[in-house]
């Protein structure tokens, strides 16, 4: 089987190359993202493998089908960047539904702890031997109310972490899990009660801009907002307005709604053309990281393993347990 990997970085090769040899697969890595302009590179391959900031629309699906490509392998859990309906009857789409929920949840907690206790700014200050702690006062998390939006595997890992901090946990999910030690409430009530709101839901038409001007108004004054899921869950312009009105004590973002073409690349010598992102980084109580919540050894190993197992299932006509279908 020949697989073309789009949008690859050096760390992808570390995990995929040795595993691919075990399967006898021929893998080609390209740094370019999967777009309509780079799709021709897939000619002659059995499958393409893409990541969160690649995309495949309906016209690209038709082109891949004409080229004889059989599968789109997503080395991630989300699939909102692929036109699943257009793939029906032409290409199979498989994802990695769960690689390390703990990796993302632990990173979400790291963002919260950092933005709450200003460890990022303290590090920068003491590097200049400025030992003043003025302006770095945080709050105890003990006894606070944590609001978890989305209680899938990552949300559940987040709940376990919050339990360790002896926090009261409220949650919203359209499909409540009665076995979880949380109090399920309507979204509005979660936002009203929570001192910390953390997002762990997929991006769908229903969840796009879940956090907007109206829902921000429902939140507590001085709340913390953490997003390690998908950037489009938050209306960034509304978030900036909330920050200007001092609604938030702190915001931690590992994702951004316009991150395509920006995240995972070095722009340190560039003038940032995205004014909204540039504005976000000016707030002293905001942390923006580059979609790295998943980035642990355990998660990368699991992603590589499941992705190649998905390819093996396609090649050998086995049950496609991780297939994404249009419903």
70 vs 83: CA distance, rounded Å: 15
Q: Are residue 54 and residue 115 in the same domain, yes or no? A: no
Q: Is residue 324 situated within a structural domain?
A: no
3-state secondary structure of 206: coil
Residue 226, beta-bridge partner list: 198, 252
Which residue's entry shows tokens 């590589």?
Answer: 304
Q: Are residue 58 and residue 27 in the same domain, yes or no? A: yes
> Which residues are marked as active site?
230, 259, 291
Q: Are residue 242 and residue 305 in the same domain, yes or no? A: no
Q: Are 143 and 189 within 8 A, CB to CB? A: no
pLDDT at 26: 95
Number of domains in the chain: 2
Q: Is residue 323 situated within a structural domain?
A: no
pLDDT at 132: 97
For 149-199, write each residue's pLDDT tens digit.
Answer: 999 999 999 999 999 999 999 999 999 999 999 999 999 999 999 999 999
For 190-232, write each residue's pLDDT tens digit.
Answer: 999 999 999 999 999 999 999 999 999 999 999 999 999 999 9
Within 10 angstroms of residue 22's Cβ, the number of other Cβ atoms is 8
Q: Are residue 264 and residue 190 in the same domain, yes or no? A: yes
Q: Is it the case that residue 34 has pLDDT exceeding 90?
A: yes
* Residue 51 tokens, joined: 């990541």
Q: Are residue 284 and residue 300 in the same domain, yes or no? A: no
Residue 147, beta-bridge partner list: 170, 197
Q: Are residue 124 and residue 262 in the same domain, yes or no? A: yes
Domain with 142 in it: 101-288
Which pLDDT band holds residue 261 (cuts at 50, 70, 90)?
confident
pLDDT at 14: 93
Within 13 Å and on the Cβ side, how many CA atoms surround 6?
A: 26
pLDDT at 309: 97
The CATH number assigned to the domain holding 131 equals 3.40.50.720
Which pLDDT band holds residue 292 (cuts at 50, 70, 90)?
very high
CB neighbour list of residue 84: distance below 8 Å, 6 or more residues apart: 93, 324, 325, 326
pTM value is: 0.90
CB neighbour list of residue 263: distance below 8 Å, 6 or more residues apart: 53, 256, 290, 291
Average the pLDDT over 21-37 and give the result.
95
- Checking 259-264 for CB contacts under 8 A at 24+ apart, the result is 259/53, 259/231, 259/290, 259/291, 260/33, 260/53, 260/55, 261/33, 261/53, 263/53, 263/290, 263/291, 264/7, 264/9, 264/53, 264/290, 264/291
250 vs 230: CA distance, rounded Å: 18
- pLDDT, mean over the chain: 96
Q: Is it the case that residue 252 has pLDDT exceeding 80?
A: yes
62 vs 57: CA distance, rounded Å: 9
Q: Are 322 and 81 within 8 A, CB to CB? A: no
Which residue's entry shows tokens 């076995």?
Answer: 179
Q: Is residue 322 situated within a structural domain?
A: no
pLDDT at 234: 98
Average the pLDDT over 12-40 and give the result.
94
Q: Is it the case that residue 53 has pLDDT exceeding 90?
A: no
For 92-137, write each residue's pLDDT tens digit.
Answer: 999 999 888 999 999 999 999 999 999 999 999 999 999 999 999 9
């Amino acid at each position: 089987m020949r697989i073309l990997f789009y949008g690859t970085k050096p760390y992808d090769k570390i995990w995929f190359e040795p595993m691919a040899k075990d399967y006898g697969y021929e893998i080609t890595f390209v740094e370019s993202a999967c777009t309509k302009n780079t799709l021709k590179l897939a000619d002659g391959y059995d499958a393409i493998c893409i990541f969160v900031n690649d995309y495949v629309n309906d016209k690209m699906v038709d082109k891949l089908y004409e080229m004889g490509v059989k599968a789109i392998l997503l080395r991630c859990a989300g699939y909102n960047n692929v036109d699943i309906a257009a793939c029906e009857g032409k290409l199979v789409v498989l994802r990695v539904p769960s690689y390390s929920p703990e990796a993302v949840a632990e990173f979400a907690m790291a963002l919260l702890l950092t933005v709450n206790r200003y460890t990022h700014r303290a590090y920068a200050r003491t590097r200049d031997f400025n030992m003043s702690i003025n302006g770095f006062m945080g709050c105890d998390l003990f006894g606070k109310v944590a609001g978890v939006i989305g209680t899938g595997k990552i949300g559940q890992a987040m709940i376990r972490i919050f339990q360790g901090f002896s926090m009261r946990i409220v949650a919203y999910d359209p499909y409540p899990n009665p076995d979880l030690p949380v109090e399920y409430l309507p979204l509005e009530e979660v936002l009203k009660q929570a001192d910390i709101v953390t997002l762990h839901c997929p991006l769908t038409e229903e969840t796009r801009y879940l956090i907007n001007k109206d829902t921000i108004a429902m939140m507590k004054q001085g709340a913390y907002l953490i997003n390690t899921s998908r950037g489009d869950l938050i209306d960034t312009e509304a978030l900036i307005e909330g920050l200007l009105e001092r609604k938030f004590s702190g915001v931690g973002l590992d994702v951004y709604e316009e991150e395509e073409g920006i995240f995972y690349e070095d722009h340190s010598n560039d003038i940032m053309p995205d004014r909204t992102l540039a504005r976000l980084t000016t707030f002293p109580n905001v942390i923006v990281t580059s979609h790295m919540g998943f980035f642990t050894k355990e998660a990368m190993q699991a992603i590589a393993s499941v992705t190649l197992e998905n390819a093996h299932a396609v090649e050998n006509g086995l049950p496609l347990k991780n297939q994404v279908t249009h419903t």
